[in-house]
Structure 1
Amino acid sequence: MNGTGNTHKRYGHGLVLGKFYPPHAGHHHLVRTAQARCERLTVLVCAASVESVPLADRVAWMREAHPGAEVVGAVDDIPVDLHDPAVWEAHMAVFRGAVPDPVDAVFTSEEYGTELARRFGAEEVCVDPARTRFPVSGTAVRADPAGCWQYLGPAVRAALARRVVVLGAESTGTTTLSQALAEHYRARGGVWAGTGWVAEYGRQYSEQKLAAARAADPAATWEDVSFTSEEFPLIARRQDEEEERAARTGSPVLFCDTDSFATGIWHERYVGGRNPEVERIAARQPRDLYLLTHHADVPFEDDGLRDGPHLRPWMTDRFSEELHRTGRRFLIVRGDRETRLKTAVAAVDELLDRGWHFTDPLPENR
């Protein structure tokens, strides 16, 4: 039975099933509609092993977006054939294994909804099958995430945003370049107008330490401030938190003035040696491109939080060595401010032009 005509009928247990590869506004509209009409709603996320977005990520994204629903996941490596009863039964074995309780209504926007509901012994409820409310599909998102950005939720945006980190030694123009890049892409307008910029938390932390030192001794200078190894994981975690927050609300590209990976080099600079916890933190979130600001062509300026002009060549070398060692994609930028920005924009444009790669879902015979 098709439940399209009765928009007021309520159900006990509803089901929404999909790949959510990745989830978009149309999916969320479907789930919200089902939630409004069911006492209890299960969202079943089905992913094939060949697909490039892990099942666990999709389940987490849907749980975040719909905390009132029960979101479960299942691996379904069976190709779709809407005309083969044996294939249907194989799929249903997966579905029933993940959702063993009786289902009263299946909410769907897909052509297979009628048969899916019949096999669950449930009523079919069609929700915007023409996609007039949200003209988007998983296929469209995979083909052009930037073009579909407005239909993506915060968690998916954070996962897909291209993250570009500008890092370098003291007084080498990382803040200037990263802010200029963010302004350049905001000027494109449209979806790019929301391009984010993440400040260096370590600098804010340093300002607070200097202020605390001066509260105890008004004559204190930066030379009177010292760091312990335990402080650097705190800085790295906070840097990552700020980055993640910005990625969830920005455009398809995000610019960061340093990151948790760079915090490891600053640990060497102020404490000596590596900090394993900082390295673990830095490994959790991949970045797409690093721009290393060379110390040449930028005169050292002491702003009250710097004391190591002689260490700039060493730091440039250490950043380069660690970027190489860890296999991170990076580019060294040199020259005056205009040249650096031009070089950086070209590298970021190349990154964006490569687009996003999603492996194809399993073939479907409709």
Structure 2
Amino acid sequence: MDRYKEIKKIAVVGPESTGKSTISAELALHYNTVWVPEYSREYCSKLTEPCSWQDEINMFKGQIDLENQLIPQANGILICDTTFITVKIWSEYMFGKAPEEVLSELSKRPYDFYLLMDIDLPWQEDPLRDFPHLREHFMNIWHKELQMLHANYQVISGLASLRKENAIIAINNYLTYFDTIS
């Protein structure tokens, strides 16, 4: 079997300021594997003007490239701090539509399991975050996006270590279920 197909890709997604990066790093450590950082965070930190249409396309390509670079280092599971679906969501919100490149890849690049981070964490100010008042709106959009993809996902709630524990339980349950149907 192809090594890439053996790797289970776990996507950590959700609105801004829901602990995606923190939980991704913690999960990678717990499962002794690597995690794919959010490419757009580094990319946007270098921008001197508001994000453009081309920037969204660049972030889409950068996220996929980063994932492709790190998957060979994965130990059975690859933890992805967000996915390029974020580009679709932001593009639709900011520009009224998503890049065709993103839309055409949605069905071609599935993730095995999604952890949708709940908006129960307090908002943390960050220069790269824009919408503290729209967290519920974007949470609803994430639900719709994952449902349209027929994605296997679970909402992860809880403060501090409880959030990590809930994420580990969700992943372990997914892996156990996957093993029983394989």
Same fold (TM over 0.5): yes
Distance 2:179 2:90 in 1: 32
Give the letter for the 1:157 counterpart. Answer: R
Given candidates 256, 260, 266, the residue that maps to 2:84 is 260
Partners of 2:39 and 2:59 within 8 A in 1: yes
Structure 1, residues 196-255: CA drift from partner, whole Å, max 9, x if none? 11000011110011xxx2xxxxxxxxxxx3222232222112211211221112100110
Partner in structure 1 of residue 104 of structure 2: 280
Q: CA RMSD in A?
A: 1.8
Q: Which residue matches 1:342?
A: 165
Q: Tell me if the contact between 1:206 and 1:305 (Cα under 8 Å) persists in the aligned partners.
A: yes
Runs of 4+, deviation exceeding 6 Å: none
Cα 1:341–1:263 change in 2 (3 A) is: same
Counterpart of 1:293 in structure 2 is: 117
Of 169, 172, 185, 2:15 maps to 169
Amino acid at match of 2:153: F
Distance 2:180 2:104 in 1: 26
| SS of residue in 1 equivalent to 2:137 | helix
The answer to whether the Cα contact below 8 Å between 1:161 and 1:253 also exists between their aligned partners in 2 is yes
Per-residue deviation, 1:356: 8.5
Q: Deviations over 1:244-274 (max 9, x none)?
A: 2211121001101001122211222333333
Partners of 1:269 and 1:180 in 2: CA distance: 30
Is 1:329 paired with 2:152? yes
| Structure 1 or 2: more helix by fraction | 2
Contact 1:157 1:249 in 2 (8 A): no
Counterpart CA distance in 2 for 1:309 and 1:346 is 28
Residue of structure 2 aligned with 1:318, choices 137, 141, 158: 141
- 1:200 equivalenced with 2:38 (yes/no): yes
Runs (5+) with no aligned partner, structure 1: 1-21, 23-155, 187-194, 214-224, 359-366
> Which amino acid in structure 2 is aligned with residue 162 of structure 1?
K
Q: Which amino acid aligns with 1:200?
A: E
Match of 1:144 in 2: none
For 1:352 and 1:203, locate their aligned partners in 2 and report how far apart those are by CA, in whole Å.
29
Residues 157 and 252, structure 1, Cα contact 8 Å, conserved in 2: no
Q: Report matched runs for 1:14-29 at 5 Å.
A: 22=1
Tell me the distance in 2 between the aligned counterparts of 1:232 and 1:283. 19
Match status 1:157 vs 2:3: yes
Kept in 2, the 8 Å contact 1:169–1:315? The answer is yes
Distance 2:45 2:100 in 1: 25
AA in 1 matched with 2:66: E
| TM, length-normalised to structure 1 | 0.47
| Deviation, structure 1 residue 351 | 2.3
Secondary structure of the structure 1 residue equivalent to 2:53? coil
Instruction: Give the drift of 1:357.
Output: 6.6
Q: Aligned partners of 2:180 and 2:105: how far apart in 1?
A: 25
8 Å Cα contact 2:114/2:151 also seen in 1: yes
Q: TM-score, normalised by structure 2?
A: 0.91
Report the equivalent of 2:66. Answer: 242
Kindly indicate which of the two structures has a greater share of residues assigned to strand: 1
1:230 matched residue in structure 2 = 54
Give the AA of the match of 1:349: N
Structure 2, unpaired ranges of 5+: none
